[in-house]
Chain A
Amino acid sequence: MKKCIALVLTCILVLASLGTAAFAEKETIKVGVLTPLTGLTAANGVDVSAAMELWLETHDHKLGGFPVEIIVEDDEADASASLTKAQKLVEMDEVDIIIGPSMTAGLYSVLSYCEEMEVLLFTPNAAGDDATMLQASDYLVRSAPSSSHLTHPLADFAANELGLKKVALLGYDFLYGYETTGGFQKVFEDNGGQVIWKQLIPNNLTDYSSIISSIPFDEVDALVYVLSGGNAMQFAKQLAEYGVTDMDIKVLAGIASLEETFLSEISPECVGFYTSQNWHSVADGTNARKEEMMAAFTKKTGNIVSTNTAQYWVAMEILDQALAGVEEYSDAVDMVQKIRAGKYDTLFGEITFDQYGEAIFDVYIRELQQIDGQLWNIPVKTYESVSQFWTYDPDTFMNGERYSATYPPVK
């Protein structure tokens, strides 16, 4: 009898413990988001904050089955502010994961700190090539393209699809500019093209007329420029004023040079400009997840989804799917390994990662078209599963000469 009672009690205890495990609420995961809420790029951060709110509303305050708390902090698009806010997120708010920051310098400053504090850093925006190459970290995952990630396929498109032979190239005179223009030049010249004119400019110019007038339009098949924000808007405007849009040359605008968020400010004369991006906001029925999010975001904020906002959302999607099979979040390095090993269905389509933590995704070559009086970046070609190393061997790429102000040289 005693044995029976003991057996029954044991069974009850085992079942009770199983029940507790099965129905226990997972521990809350705290996610810190670093994005600029002040300064020149504040609009990006405001949209990101709204997207994070939308995530909580549409996912029942859950991330991969874990209750989630999201804390958004202003990184001011500044390296030291990013670091101070990362310290606040980790030491005061005790976050498990940091998404951000928005700038490459901020990424490098926060990365060292996250390594020291053993916190997972998920960067959806900062682009510096080396973060997922020579300075790759066990604590870092990047879902955003690296600087040269998107100009490699643009160069391939220019050389092999458009058949361009000689181009003029313009970009920023700092590391981001070296990497973006360098990436274009290397792939373009490896495919038989030639950059015959290249100029690197500061990022605070307001008038580009002297630069545009110095471009040898009669000697080139195309002008390629990689600018961003207000610089890109002003440059496109002055190109139209100068009459470049009427010339018999192609114009390729790299990465964020024709962002959806400021297309309404772009002259219709720029129709026909090409860009490369891992995102487009055309509701073409190929990605229901994307169209649903875009509609919800526009309904919530009245704004269209920018690439930057989409990148932060994709970071949440990847974390959501990676955490789905996890019972307890404890180790950042394990989680990074798990994320890197997975395959994710996102706004950007299918995403995988390489061993250095950089995402591999489809890249769209988009042509600016006017439809019903409105400008759209319409995808005209898709490069599938594009790696940060393009088609080059990773070791050869990383150990070779790095993109700089003088490399590749103009021959």
Chain B
Amino acid sequence: MQRLENLFKHPGRRVLPTSTTRYLPALIIISGLIGLIPQIFSNAYIHTLGSLIMIYGVLAISIDILAGYIGLLALGQSAFFGFGAYTCGYLLTACKWPHEWAILVALIASGILALLFGLITLKTWGNTFFMITIALVQVIWGLAFKLTPITGGDNGMGGIRRPTFFGIKFANSINFYYLLFAVFILVIFLAYRFVNSPFGLTMHGLRENRRRMRALGYNIYAHKLTAYVFAGLLAGLSGIMYALFNRFVSPSDITTMASSTAFLMALLGGCGTLVGPIIGSIIITLLKNYISSYTARWTMVMGGLYVLVVMLSPGGVVGAYHTICAAISRKRKGKVSGKIPIEERKDTP
């Protein structure tokens, strides 16, 4: 049986290169298009979907860093998402803190949670780590559900207000969209620098062959922990964005289903590419919200899509793009060099 983390090892550099630099144009174009949504569409519901794409895109990037770059199958990112959202919501509603402090403390709290959890669990790999991360989600979900005086229990936590920064009121949905967009761009920039730094290259090494990395003298545990905390911070930040956007948080936002949806976004778009999770977020958010308006069987459509992607293109949309490009390139090279494709050779005397 194939180990789970092997799913994310790149089958060949021709298909999915380990460097993310080649995806920079795609990242810029797709992010730019997301930023243009309020200019192109006046309908506020489209802005809502654009906001959700950015929020879940950040969450999916946090998963991509772990699964795509280091080979850690983390299904527990919604725990940090929820922890960030609830902490920010609680500080704003119950403690009446100003937004600057509430956001900062919620972000730090998510990072500390990731650090504590990482210290305990990162001794493991693969299926074991995968199962432990699910347990983390269950713990945080249970706390959100049971700590009714703090979290509101199954009623959720409401009354979260949007911020005013530099005299700009972000209660206005267009203004808030651009605030989300600014954070989204910042996250992409940080994640891009992170995975393309020398540290990022060691993450690639860990994913491909951790024994060799250990033999070369790298501290695997410290590298994993650093990446895990960074991903936890991003997940916490997406939770904070979500709390401020929705102005409401409930335990249903922290379920394993929420985690697996974000995981599928990364998988569908293409892990280890940074642009893939954003593409996955776009596809899943749009499909989920549009198909469900036309058919109650929308989960079946989504399920079918996942199965198709896994069977036909394990590298996701980005992987499929590379496969097609490689095929076209081979065909062209074949013609230029005068080589005859195999199927044509049979007919050649």
**Which residues in A have some Cβ–Cβ distance to B below 8 Å?**
37-38, 42, 45-46, 49, 73-74, 78-80, 83-85, 87-88, 90-92, 104-105, 108-109, 112, 128, 130, 173-176, 178, 404-405
**Which residues in B have some Cβ–Cβ distance to A below 8 Å?**
43-45, 48, 52, 145-146, 148, 152-156, 158-159, 246-248, 250-253, 289, 292-293, 296, 298-299
A22 smallest CB distance to B (angstroms): 36
Query: In the bound complex, do residue B145 and residue A105 qualify as a contact, i.e. CB atoms below 8 Å apart?
Result: no
Query: In the bound complex, do residue A174 and residue B253 qualify as a contact, i.e. CB atoms below 8 Å apart?
Result: no
Give the distance in Å from the alpha carbon of A121 to the alpha carbon of B43 in the complex.
Answer: 21
B104 smallest CB distance to A (angstroms): 24
Given contacts A79-B250, A84-B48, A88-B289, are A105 and B154 in contact (CB under 8 A)?
yes
B180 smallest CB distance to A (angstroms): 15
The residue on A at minimum CB distance from B149 is A404
A157 smallest CB distance to B (angstroms): 27
CB contact between B292 and one of A49, A74, A90, A92 (< 8 Å): that residue = A74
Query: In the bound complex, do residue A174 and residue B154 qualify as a contact, i.e. CB atoms below 8 Å apart?
Result: yes
Query: In the bound complex, do residue A175 and residue B296 qualify as a contact, i.e. CB atoms below 8 Å apart?
Result: no
Give the distance in Å from the alpha carbon of A175 to the alpha carbon of B45 in the complex.
Answer: 32
Q: A109-B156, A109-B158 are known; give 9 further A-B pairs, CB within 8 A.
A: A42-B296, A80-B248, A84-B52, A88-B293, A105-B155, A174-B145, A174-B153, A175-B148, A175-B153
Give the distance in Å from the alpha carbon of A233 to the alpha carbon of B175 in the complex.
Answer: 50
List the count of A-B residue pairs having beta carbons below 8 Å apart. Answer: 85
B153 smallest CB distance to A (angstroms): 4
Q: Which 3 A-B pairs have the closest CB atoms?
A: A79-B250, A37-B296, A91-B45
Given contacts A84-B48, A109-B156, are A174 and B292 in contact (CB under 8 A)?
no
Query: Could you say which residues of chain A place their CB within 8 Å of the CB of B296?
Result: 37-38, 42, 45-46, 49, 74
CB contact between B45 and one of A38, A92, A112, A173 (< 8 Å): that residue = A92
The residue on B at minimum CB distance from A402 is B148
Give the distance in Å from the alpha carbon of A245 to the alpha carbon of B238 in the complex.
Answer: 52
Query: In the bound complex, do residue A74 and residue B44 qualify as a contact, i.e. CB atoms below 8 Å apart?
Result: no
The residue on B at minimum CB distance from A46 is B296
Query: In the bound complex, do residue A104 and residue B154 qualify as a contact, i.e. CB atoms below 8 Å apart?
Result: yes
Query: In the bound complex, do residue A173 and residue B146 qualify as a contact, i.e. CB atoms below 8 Å apart?
Result: yes
Q: Is the interface of B mostly helix, strand, loop or mixed?
A: helix
The residue on A at minimum CB distance from B290 is A88
Query: In the bound complex, do residue A74 and residue B155 qualify as a contact, i.e. CB atoms below 8 Å apart?
Result: no
Query: In the bound complex, do residue B252 and residue A105 qualify as a contact, i.e. CB atoms below 8 Å apart?
Result: yes
Query: In the bound complex, do residue A88 and residue B45 qualify as a contact, i.e. CB atoms below 8 Å apart?
Result: yes
Query: In the bound complex, do residue B154 and residue A80 qualify as a contact, i.e. CB atoms below 8 Å apart?
Result: no
Given contacts A38-B296, A87-B45, are A112 and B153 in contact (CB under 8 A)?
no
B168 smallest CB distance to A (angstroms): 19
Query: Could you say which residues of chain B place their CB within 8 Å of the CB of A173?
Result: 146
Interface centre among A45, A78, A88, A104 (most CB of B within 10 A): A88
Given contacts A175-B148, A176-B154, A404-B148, are A109 and B248 in contact (CB under 8 A)?
yes
Given contacts A37-B296, A108-B156, A175-B153, are A80 and B44 in contact (CB under 8 A)?
no
Query: Could you say which residues of chain A place their CB within 8 Å of the CB of B43?
Result: 91-92
Give the distance in Å from the alpha carbon of A109 to the alpha carbon of B156 in the complex.
Answer: 8
B293 smallest CB distance to A (angstroms): 6
Query: In the bound complex, do residue B155 and residue A80 qualify as a contact, i.e. CB atoms below 8 Å apart?
Result: no
Query: In the bound complex, do residue B248 and residue A84 qualify as a contact, i.e. CB atoms below 8 Å apart?
Result: no
A173 smallest CB distance to B (angstroms): 7
Query: In the bound complex, do residue B155 and residue A87 qualify as a contact, i.e. CB atoms below 8 Å apart?
Result: no
B59 smallest CB distance to A (angstroms): 13
Query: Could you say which residues of chain A place their CB within 8 Å of the CB of B153?
Result: 174-175
Interface centre among B43, B48, B247, B293 (most CB of A within 10 A): B293
B207 smallest CB distance to A (angstroms): 32
Query: In the bound complex, do residue B252 and residue A79 qualify as a contact, i.e. CB atoms below 8 Å apart?
Result: yes
Query: In the bound complex, do residue B158 and residue A108 qualify as a contact, i.e. CB atoms below 8 Å apart?
Result: yes
The residue on A at minimum CB distance from B293 is A73
CB contact between B247 and one of A92, A112, A128, A130 (< 8 Å): that residue = A112
Query: In the bound complex, do residue A175 and residue B155 qualify as a contact, i.e. CB atoms below 8 Å apart?
Result: yes
Query: Could you say which residues of chain B place their CB within 8 Å of the CB of A105?
Result: 154-156, 250-252
